[in-house]
Amino acid sequence: MIDCIFCKIINHEIPADIFYEDENVIAMMDIKPVSRGHVLVIPKKHSNDLLTTDDVTLHHVITKIKEIAIALTKTVNAQGINISTNNGAAAGQAVFHLHFHLIPRFSSDGLVSWPHHDSEPKTRAQLAEEIKKNL
């Protein structure tokens, strides 16, 4: 049995603010929200992250994310929403059970977005080629 906090929430062993649940997916409020209405959408079936999750599970989750994102945006009157998942500790993942963050955004919320950098056309083309080879 894996010692996983989200599995415990899914099994109702520890409390959480779950507002949606079906056979495959749960959705709950994040305990430390980045913005008002920060929600987590989580497949019930345990997998560490997106890269190791089967496509059927991903399909269940992504279609529910769309539905919840529409309802959430309306609920908190957001002007936008970030939908993301962290894969690996280096990417900021702290809980190793796949989950998607739905973070409502407001025009004046002051949250910083990712920094972009200039890049060389040659470097970009080279990377594109290397990725293509690995697909």
- Of 94, 112, 128, 131, which one interacts with ligand AMP (CB under 6 A)? 94
Q: What distances in angstroms separate CA 54 from CA 40, 42, 44, 49, 118, one per listed residue?
A: 19, 14, 13, 10, 35
Tokens at 117, concatenated: 């950098």
Task: Identify whether the C-beta of residue 101 lies closer than 8 Å to the C-beta of residue 34.
Answer: yes
Active-site position among 99, 101, 116, 117 = 99
Among ligand AMP, Zn ion, none, the one that 30 touches (CB under a kind-dependent 5 to 8 A) is: ligand AMP
Among Zn ion, ligand AMP, none, the one that 49 touches (CB under a kind-dependent 5 to 8 A) is: none
Among Zn ion, ligand AMP, none, the one that 92 touches (CB under a kind-dependent 5 to 8 A) is: ligand AMP
- Of 1, 3, 32, 131, which one interacts with ligand AMP (CB under 6 A)? 32
Query: Where along the sequence are the contacts to Zn ion (CB under 5 A)?
Result: 4, 6-7, 46, 97
Q: How many residues of this chain bind ligand AMP (CB under 6 A)?
A: 12
Can you say whether residue 88 is alpha, beta or left, with left for phi > 0 and alpha for psi between -120 and 50 degrees?
A: left
Give every CB contact of residue 62 below 8 A, 6+ residues apart in sequence.
Answer: none
Task: Identify whether the C-beta of residue 72 lies closer than 8 Å to the C-beta of residue 39.
Answer: yes
**95 interacts with ligand AMP by CB under 6 A:** yes
Indicate if 99 belongs to the active site.
yes
- Of 18, 30, 48, 53, which one interacts with ligand AMP (CB under 6 A)? 30
Q: Which of 21, 99, 91 shows the shortest CA–CA distance to 58? A: 99
Which residues contribute to the site for ligand AMP (CB under 6 A)? 5, 16, 28, 30-32, 40, 86, 92-95
Q: Which residues are catalytic?
A: 99
